Amino acid sequence: MKALIYHGPGVKALEEHTPPALAAAGDAIVRITKTTICGTDLHILKGDVPSCTPGRVLGHEGVGVVHQAGPAVAAFRPGDHVLISCISACGKCEYCRRGMYSHCSSGGWILGNTIDGTQAEYVRIPHADTSLYKIAPGLDKEALVMLSDILPTGIECGVLNGKVQPGSSVAIVGSGPVGLAALLTAQFYSPSEIIMVDIDRSRLELSRRFGATATVDNSNGKAGEKIMAMTAGVGVDCAIEAVGVPASFLLCEEIIAPGGTIANVGVHGVKVDLHLQRLWSQNITITTRLVDTVTTPMLLKTVQARKIDPARLITHRFKLGEIMDAYETFGNAASTHALKVLIEA
């Protein structure tokens, strides 16, 4: 089969690769019909993710059709249309019992990381019963590719951890795909203000179309001052960090109101300063989270009920044979204005 292989920092190739086979009774083999590229894939290619070793098929998002199901798989049969979760969950360990699938003792984020992933014609999904989701007839499968990772990440790490509520004020720092996913899902809870912060004007413009009530261009580094002025010096109830660098986390510390919550979504590579000398008395909460994908069933319902249209995040479309171009487009988002690139297998 064709697969996109990671060959070490900076090197990837679309190659012929042995198709996966069932390895455990609970595995399923899924024929990929649609996949996409994640910012994390770019991190891997930079050499930032040591757990992912050369030879690995990349990708942890996608929809497809069950090709084979192991003898212990109860919920799926060959031919079933399925959504693949970026998180594999056994459903049995202590973490899974608590809904913390991200830390599953035999799963978590392994697809396209420690086992072969979805940027291929076929993929092996461990713990299939609790890592795949049936797709109801009539649902837009392109839209559902956004439910593998980006929408659960936006809502779980950003919106739910940030306790967004009707009438609350929200700032989202970073309007990349994950920040926009947070923006879309924050609206499930009817906050009265959603301020998007970025340095890219076209993304800020897009944010308004996606429901932001205000945007702040932080090119001059003065977003903190602006947001404090916009909120009468109080700050916001919820600040969502969706970049992953110290400056954007510090901005969240600057604009958080007493009693508010900083919900970190970004993947950080270095430590940040936590200004406890000011914040110790501010009754704030800071949260971190690797997505658990526990919201997937709920998200499927909201897509089905047309409360949200995740396909709005898709800007470009490619065939699997063109995946090297897709990486090029996605990797140069500043010039291509790419959000999510859809890859048809």
**Closest separation in Å from C-beta 263 to its own copies:** 10
Residue 186's nearest CA partner among 137, 236, 235 is 236
CA–CA distance, 162 with 334 (Å, rounded to integer): 28
Alpha carbon distance 158, 44 (integer Å): 23
By CB under 8 A, the residues from 43 to 62 that bind its own copies are: none
Q: Give the footprint of its own copies on residues 14-33 (CB under 8 A).
A: 25-26
Q: How far is the CB of 142 from its own copies (least distance, A)?
A: 20
Number of residues that bind its own copies (CB under 8 A): 72
Of 131, 16, 123, nearest in space to 67 by CA: 123
Nearest distance, CB of residue 22 and its own copies, angstroms = 13
Residue found by looking up tokens 């959603």 in the block: 194
Q: Which helix (H) or strand (E) holds 323?
A: helix 323-331
* Nearest CB to its own copies, comparing residues 133 and 318: 133
- Closer to its own copies by Cβ: residue 23 or 276: 276
Restricting to residues 235-254, which ones interact with its own copies according to CB under 8 A? 244, 249
Interacting span for its own copies (CB under 8 A) from 2-10, 12-20, 182-190, 200-208: 182-190
For the beta carbon of residue 68, count every other beta carbon within 10 angstroms. Answer: 17
- Binding of its own copies by 208 (CB under 8 A): no
Q: Does 298 engage in binding with its own copies (CB under 8 A)?
A: yes
Residue 267 CB, shortest distance to its own copies, in Å, is: 6
Structure tokens at 257: 């109101």
Out of 54, 55, 167, 221, the residue judged to bind its own copies by CB under 8 A: 167
Grouping H, G, I as helix, E, B as strand and the rest as coil, residue 86 is: coil
Q: Does 266 bind its own copies (CB under 8 A)?
A: yes
Among 130, 207, 215, 293, binds its own copies (CB under 8 A): 130
CB 292 within 8 A of CB 269: no
Calpha distance 327→256 (Å, rounded): 36
